[in-house]
């Protein structure tokens, strides 16, 4: 008797755990796709799955999702394609403003602004998504491919982004972030973590961008003071696309041929990555170089630990001011690791990689490069990584298993 009841109880438990009225809302491409898909995204209830059919959805306006707990699922990143080639308005292709959303198995092409933006959307999962500007790298492409901002718990897994005129994968003003197993190519910045806290960027491939992986912090923003970012196990090779960012944007200042660039952050770890074919440098550690008016902003980099990276050919075609001169002075190529030197030993910038380091010998982050005093340096100190691993809530990992 007891056993039967036990079995029955567990059936009840299962029933209770599943969303009782969760349903699939199937949307097929074809005439009226804009209104049909947008209506599904509006009428979906928490727990529902909006299923994108196979084929190309020709969209005329931005789409948006503002219902918590909804999954948008396609038939695959080459099968369900949201095309914004004919987009007439809106700043992005798809905008998500609700929590606990899963986006997976579809593509966004040719959005006029950003491709997928999620703002104030906690616990968001991007999985197996392709974002592409199909005309190749162009200044007229949208700025960001995958663009979560002002969010807590961001999981970006197995995405591919091609052609963003700013950053392919951009996480801004967020906390607790994982970007993994993804590919960024032919963007200005492959992957960028900006004004964010606690991020793991690992097992990605960043290639053919202007700069591979950027960790930046900018002044005059609601969240600043970027810190605790680990960049590890990535392949960052041949980032040699000329910078095609519209002027005025911070990434327009990234030299072509940059592997990893850290700007105005603290507690950053770069380890176990493979670098090769980055013509300017593999790792560049610099302060914020523009004039700013913000008493709360810290422009210099502090506490960097660099270890166990593999450095291939680099520094052979430096695309920054004074680069050629530096290359000539240091035997034909710029050393693979460059630090602006601001803060001196107090900055605690350490590297145990077995390659030369160039210290630009600056005393202020915005010092003109002509007045720098570059010299080879040892960044001696304990460079072993110590930051804890970033962990997502279980439900987020479960959503992509």
Contacting positions for other proteins (CB under 8 A): 34-36, 38-39, 41-43, 60-62, 64-66, 87-91, 95, 97, 111-114, 119-120, 139-144, 147, 149-150, 165-166, 170, 172-173, 218-222, 246-250, 290-294
> What's the min distance (Å) between Cβ of 328 and other proteins?
32
Cα–Cα distance measured from residue 241 to residue 186, given in angstroms and rounded to the nearest whole number: 7
Contacts of 33 by beta carbon, 8 Å cutoff, 6+ apart: 27, 57, 58, 59
**Distance between CA atoms of residues 261 and 337, nearest Å:** 10
**Dihedral sign for Cα atoms in the order 245, 251, 256, 259:** negative
Which residue in the block uniquely carries the two structure tokens 């298993």? 401
- Shortest CB 139 distance to other proteins, Å: 6
As a whole number of Å, the end-to-end CA separation of the chain is 37
Q: How far apart, in whole angstroms, are the C-alpha atoms of residue 149 and residue 323?
A: 34
Query: In terms of CB distance, is 18 or 89 closer to other proteins?
Result: 89
Which of residues 40 and 107 has its CB atom nearest to other proteins in the complex?
Answer: 40
Q: Provide CB contacts within 8 A for 383, sequence distance 6+.
A: 305, 306, 307, 350, 351, 352, 353
Q: Which is closer to other proteins, CB of 218 or CB of 379?
A: 218
For other proteins, the closer CB: 224 or 303: 224
Q: Taking a C-beta distance cutoff of 8 angstroms, is the pair 228, 265 a contact?
A: no
Nearer to other proteins, 90 or 262 (CB): 90
Residue placing its CB nearer to other proteins in the complex, 92 or 269: 92
Among 140, 339, 380, smallest CA distance to 245 is for 140
> For strand 375-377 and strand 357-359, is the pairing parallel, antiparallel, or unpaired?
antiparallel
| Contact assessment for residue 90 and residue 116, using Cβ atoms and an 8 Å cutoff | no
Q: How far is the CB of 294 from other proteins (least distance, A)?
A: 7
| Least distance (Å) between residue 122 CB and other proteins | 11
CB of 11 to other proteins, least distance (A): 33
**Edge-to-edge strand ranges of the sheet holding 357-359:** 61-65, 89-96, 114-119, 144-149, 167-172, 189-194, 211-216, 258-263, 281-286, 337-339, 357-359, 375-377
User: Minimum Å distance from CB 173 to other proteins?
Assistant: 5
Computed from CA positions of residues 21, 27, 31, 33, in that sequence, does the dihedral angle turn out positive or negative?
positive
Distance separating alpha carbons of residues 88 and 393, to the nearest angstrom: 38
Helix residue ranges per DSSP H, 283-351 = 323-329
Instruction: Choose between 287 and 341: whose C-beta lies nearer to other proteins.
Output: 287
CB of 34 to other proteins, least distance (A): 8
Q: How far is the CB of 30 from other proteins (least distance, A)?
A: 15
- 144 or 232, CB closer to other proteins? 144
Shortest gap between Cβ of 149 and other proteins (angstroms)? Answer: 5
Q: Which of 82, 250 has the CB closer to other proteins?
A: 250
CB of 170 to other proteins, least distance (A): 8
As given in the structure block, the two tokens for residue 344 are: 């001196």
CA atoms within 13 A on the CB side of 193: 33
* Nearer to other proteins among residue 176 and residue 303 (C-beta): 176
């Amino acid at each position: 008797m007891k056993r039967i009841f036990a079995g029955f109880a567990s059936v009840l438990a299962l029933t209770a755990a599943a969303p009782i009225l969760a349903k699939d809302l199937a949307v097929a491409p074809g005439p009226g796709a804009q209104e049909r898909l947008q209506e599904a995204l509006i009428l979906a209830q928490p727990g529902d799955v909006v299923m994108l059919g196979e084929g190309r959805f020709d969209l005329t306006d931005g789409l948006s999702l503002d219902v918590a707990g909804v999954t948008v699922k396609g038939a695959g990143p080459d099968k369900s394609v949201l095309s914004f080639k004919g987009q007439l308005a809106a700043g992005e292709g798809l905008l998500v403003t609700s929590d606990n959303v899963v986006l997976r198995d579809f593509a966004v092409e040719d959005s006029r602004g950003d491709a997928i933006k999620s703002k104030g959307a906690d616990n968001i999962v991007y999985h197996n998504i392709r974002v592409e500007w199909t005309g190749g790298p162009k200044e007229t492409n949208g700025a960001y491919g995958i663009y979560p901002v002002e969010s807590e718990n961001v999981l970006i897994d197995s995405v591919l982004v091609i052609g963003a005129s700013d950053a392919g994968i951009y996480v801004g003003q967020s906390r607790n972030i994982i970007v993994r197993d993804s590919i960024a190519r032919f963007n200005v910045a492959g992957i960028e973590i900006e004004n964010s806290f606690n991020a793991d960027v690992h097992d990605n491939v960043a290639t053919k961008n202007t700069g591979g992986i950027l960790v930046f912090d900018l002044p005059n923003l609601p969240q600043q003071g970027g810190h605790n970012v680990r960049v590890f196990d990535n392949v960052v090779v041949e980032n040699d696309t000329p910078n095609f960012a519209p002027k005025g944007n911070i990434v327009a200042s990234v030299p072509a041929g940059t592997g990893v660039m850290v700007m105005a952050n603290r507690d950053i770890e770069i380890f176990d990555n493979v670098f090769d074919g980055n013509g300017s440098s593999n790792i560049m550690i610099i302060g914020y170089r523009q004039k700013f008016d913000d008493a709360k902003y810290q422009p210099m980099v502090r506490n960097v630990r660099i270890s166990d990276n593999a450095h291939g050919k680099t520094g052979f075609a430096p695309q920054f001011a004074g680069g050629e001169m530096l290359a000539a002075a240091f035997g034909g190529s710029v050393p693979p690791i460059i630090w602006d030197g601001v803060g001196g030993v107090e900055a605690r910038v350490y590297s145990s990689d077995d390659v030369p380091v160039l210290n630009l010998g600056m005393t202020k982050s915005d010092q003109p490069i002509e007045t720098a005093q570059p010299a080879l340096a040892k960044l001696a100190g304990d460079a072993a990584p110590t930051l804890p691993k970033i962990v997502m809530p279980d439900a987020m990992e479960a959503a992509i298993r």
